[in-house]
Structure 1
Amino acid sequence: MNRRIGMWGALMTALSLVVLAGCGLLADFETEAKQKLGKYDALAEKKNEELDLRELKLEPYADEVGGRLSSPRYQEFAVNSQLEIKGSAKKYRGFRSDVAWIEVEKESDGGKEMEFSYYAPLRDGRFSQRVQLFDGKGKYQVTVRLPGKDEEDRFYDLARFEVINVNPEKKRDVALTRAGQAAGLKIDRPTSGLTQAKGVFNLEGSLGKIENGRVMVRLEKDGKQWEHLFPLEQGKFVGKIPLFYGKGVHQLTLLTPDKKRKDYYNEAGSLLVENTADRKRNPIEYFKHYDERGVKLASPLAGGDSANMKYRIKGRINPDAPYADQTKHLIVQTKKDGMEATYFVPVKNYRFDDTFWLRFGKGEYEVTVNVPEITDEQRDYFRFFGVARFTVTNTSDRDLRNLLPSRGIQSKDETIRALAEELTQGKKGDQAKALAVYEYVAKNIRYDVQKFKNDEFEYDDSARKTLKEKEGVCQDYSFLAIALLRSIDIETRFVQGVADGNRHAWVEVKVDGRWLTMDPTWGSGYIDGNDRFVRRYTTKYFDPKPGEFAKTHTRTGVMY
């Protein structure tokens, strides 16, 4: 008997040891599981253990519509950054809206109330929404509302509760309004409603229910605001957004076109972008022809840049835009202290990428980008339309207005430079070199009477074209002479004026500190009574006496 008792006792002892060992294993497992929860999940669990987790109380409207929340279950609780809200309404028929409105509010340290709204789709009276607590650690008040049955856009409280976020990291969703949801707005880049960028950030998205038209972007910071329209191409939009207003958080709002009202846009979504760059820039001013002619600037994206003597412009033209096939160049005008210069930027395969000069020395320039008027009408002037305007500051002290290339004057061209060096080889002094150039142009370029009489001027008229075709009118003689002289570093300028009652152009060249006048057009010959050009070279119009020259020529200004 005693022996049997001993065996039973031994068995019970062994079982006890197994149970005790099992309890130890279970405790270790629970500790490991808590560690796997993560720091902030564990903090939230600990906080919930300290709280009085009272059951969530619904508002009176819940009884009216058979409303309930399956998640959350408590009046006050803690989470790690996010929570799930799920609910339903049995008596949903007759709702005047198809969404549940979830409003999240938080009081900031400065006492300012911040809020964020979600519009959760209602399907057969049910809704579900993941909610991101947008401002890091702290207490948030959440209000869940269901639509009314009496008036459109009227909502009533279903439940109100408080959530404590234990995670200090600030995370934010992209905020979509009801209009944004109705338009099928989707933002693919950035993926977060709070992102960082240095000076510029990329925006990409789509409108699932609108394929063509434009979306508006509004950028705001410290009371300043910028708006711009981006084209929709097959429902998608892409843009680079400059963060104009320096370091700190910029608010970006997207607005989508209203289906019923023309040129009216509805706020559709918003996000925050923290600019890490200190530099402030100026918005580009866009004109109506920017959109109408399909111009898209890729660079610059903002005004206020700095440059050393020259500045790059880059972009494209929408092939489907009016006159896109015929737009072979853009016209860039620069202004500084009352002085103006014009440059042509070539367009090839609907793209442009070129530089222009800041020729008037140090300081701020106003730059206007233009598209040419497309017309078959022949005339002695060109019309063009502004598409964009911005500022750029030249940091160079050098004033090279009379040496740098300009419209029609390709003084950096190697063929022109080689010819100028050949013409002036062995010549002593700038006056002798200028005479050599005058003589070459006057003797080798034939006056084009038909071009003058029929106003057959072209945008590509230039020194290079004159050298190739060996004919032209006064502007073409002047283009070539100036390009040749500038190519060998002799300061030269294009003079506009009137001669014998007609618009005319000639040249002034700087020689030994003074401006010498020369008119290679008049030095080449004359037009007889039968409107034929007669060659007769003369040096009478090289460095003429001012009084004699003024009898036939009236100077009105200089063109750059």
Structure 2
Amino acid sequence: MILGVCLLGSTLTSCALPTVISNYVDSIGSEAGNKKIEYTDEAKKSGFTLEQPTTGVVVGKEEVLIQGSLAEAKAGDQILVRISKDGKSGQKIISIKDKKFRQAVPLYYGKGKHEVEVLIPGDSKTDYYYSATRFTVENSSSLQQIPMGYNSSFYRQYGVTLEQPIAGGKTYDGKVLLQGTVDPPSKSTKQVEYLVVRADKGEDKSNYYIPVKDRKFSQWIPLRFGAGDYKVQLTVGDLHYSPVVDLEVKNSVSADLRDLLPGSGMESDDPQIIALSKKITANENSPMEKARAIYKHVATNVSYDMKKDRNYWDDGALKTLRERKGICHDYALTTVALLRAIEIPARYIGGDAGEPHAWVEAKIGDKWIPMDPTWGSGYSAGKKFVKAYDPSYFNPNPASFKKTHKKPEVIY
């Protein structure tokens, strides 16, 4: 006998609704491996079919593939999967597309038997689910995984499917791949252009933008703050501070590479950026002179865009070098990218210079030196920008610089 359950927010709970009783109607074989998949009455009525797995007892390693169809599925419907072992339970959301579903489900709790229950949406109540079937998976892996957190409403509204990773708790070698699809079920929902990712380690925080192209996304996210535990949050661009899904991961790389790894708009690993940085600094010998050459290149080759009044999610070094214009944000992104490309530690500084402003710091030896390629590029005369290279804003006098550039914040 199976009870109906409802999904409240991001947590699957029992709820104070009338009990729904669904009897399993298929017979069960007696031998492991030959045990038949059993379905509830609700599953039968809804046209639920499970194609994978094919038997009620299967063997898996860290995960198991669930694939099937739901004939009565509506746009935006989701399958809920509950995975349990030894009194512990986690869940996984699987999106339904064209009445079909297919996704790997994690076996969270290490080696041994996991009980897997598949739940389908009710036909009349939002976030109310009925048990459809259940089966057992013998996990051969001892890996302990952590269930991801979901905001089920946003996940459904924007049609998000995070295909990789499928669970939290895994250890990565310096970066983690986020991959999936974004396909809103309603035509009234604006198509998503980008996702925002936060990858935070304690008080250290970093933000990244992932483009969504043809309803798909795939990008490696750096774990830039060294070894330890990270919280990764994936957010639809329009929502910003309301994560759609979050997970915990571990980084095995001990080195803290926060000022050397690529960042959003700071594409220091791009072949074009690397080649340009090497070309700019080819005749320079010391890190200080290489940094000065990069500062001069950005200041003289980029013009201030008097018409641009804010930052955009797709801003970056490649875009700025292509368009040869931008605001302080773009100057700073480009300079940082070129410095990091030749392994000079660099950081983007956000602060105030009479109005919100951005500049750069580079680590030369054991000292951080400031530079402001925007102010070094020229000046405004009314509504016009006048190109006039000024070398004095590279490694300026600290006391003088602090009078005009205040409230600094390192942004990753």
- What TM-score, normalized to structure 1? 0.65
Unaligned runs of 5+ in 2: 1-21
Unaligned runs of 5+ in 1: 1-116, 121-128, 137-168, 375-382
2:65 aligned with 1:202 = yes
What residue identity is the alignment partner of 1:491?
P
User: Which has the greater radius of gyration?
Assistant: 1
- Select which of 363, 366, 384 maps to 2:231: 366
How many angstroms does 1:238 deviate by?
Answer: 2.4
How many angstroms does 1:324 deviate by?
Answer: 8.0
| Structure 2: distance between partners of 1:465 and 1:399 | 28
2:83 aligned with 1:223 = no
Does the 8 A contact of 1:367 with 1:391 survive in 2? yes
2:396 aligned with 1:509 = no
- Select which of 381, 392, 403 maps to 1:540: 392
| Structure 1: distance between partners of 2:274 and 2:99 | 51
2:324 aligned with 1:436 = no
Pair 1:198–1:495, CA change in 2 (3 A): same
Does the 8 A contact of 1:371 with 1:384 survive in 2? no
2:55 aligned with 1:192 = yes
Q: Corresponding residue for 1:558?
A: 410
| Structure 1: distance between partners of 2:283 and 2:126 | 71
| Structure 1: distance between partners of 2:36 and 2:297 | 71
Pair 1:244–1:548, CA change in 2 (3 A): same
Pair 1:222–1:423, CA change in 2 (3 A): same
| Structure 2: distance between partners of 1:446 and 1:234 | 49
How many angstroms does 1:385 deviate by?
Answer: 4.5
Equivalent position SS for 1:418: helix
- Select which of 29, 52, 75 maps to 1:132: 29
How many angstroms does 1:302 deviate by?
Answer: 0.6
- Select which of 327, 331, 340 maps to 1:477: 331
- What TM-score, normalized to structure 2? 0.87
Q: Corresponding residue for 1:331?
A: 196
Matches within 5 A, 1:284-363: 284-287=148-151, 288-318=153-183, 320=185, 326-363=191-228
Q: Corresponding residue for 2:101?
A: 237
What residue identity is the alignment partner of 1:282?
I
Aligned residues: 389
Q: Corresponding residue for 1:159?
A: none
| Structure 2: distance between partners of 1:346 and 1:398 | 28
Does the 8 A contact of 2:158 with 2:184 survive in 1? no
* Stretches (4+) displaced over 4 A: 117-120, 208-212, 319-326
Q: Percent identity?
A: 36
Equivalent position SS for 1:132: coil
2:388 aligned with 1:531 = no
Does the 8 A contact of 1:495 with 1:555 survive in 2? no
- Structure with the larger RCO, 1 or 2 (CA within 8 Å, 6+ apart): 2
Matches within 5 A, 1:170-185: 171-185=34-48
Q: Corresponding residue for 1:113?
A: none
2:283 aligned with 1:420 = no
Pair 1:483–1:324, CA change in 2 (3 A): farther
| Structure 2: distance between partners of 1:477 and 1:180 | 58
Q: Corresponding residue for 2:118?
A: 254
Does the 8 A contact of 1:365 with 1:391 survive in 2? yes
Does the 8 A contact of 2:84 with 2:90 survive in 1? yes
Alignment RMSD (CA, Å): 2.4
Pair 1:427–1:233, CA change in 2 (3 A): closer
Does the 8 A contact of 1:372 with 1:384 survive in 2? no
1:475-517 per-residue CA deviation (whole Å, 9 max, x = no partner) reads 11111111111111111110110001x1100010111210011
| Structure 2: distance between partners of 1:425 and 1:237 | 54
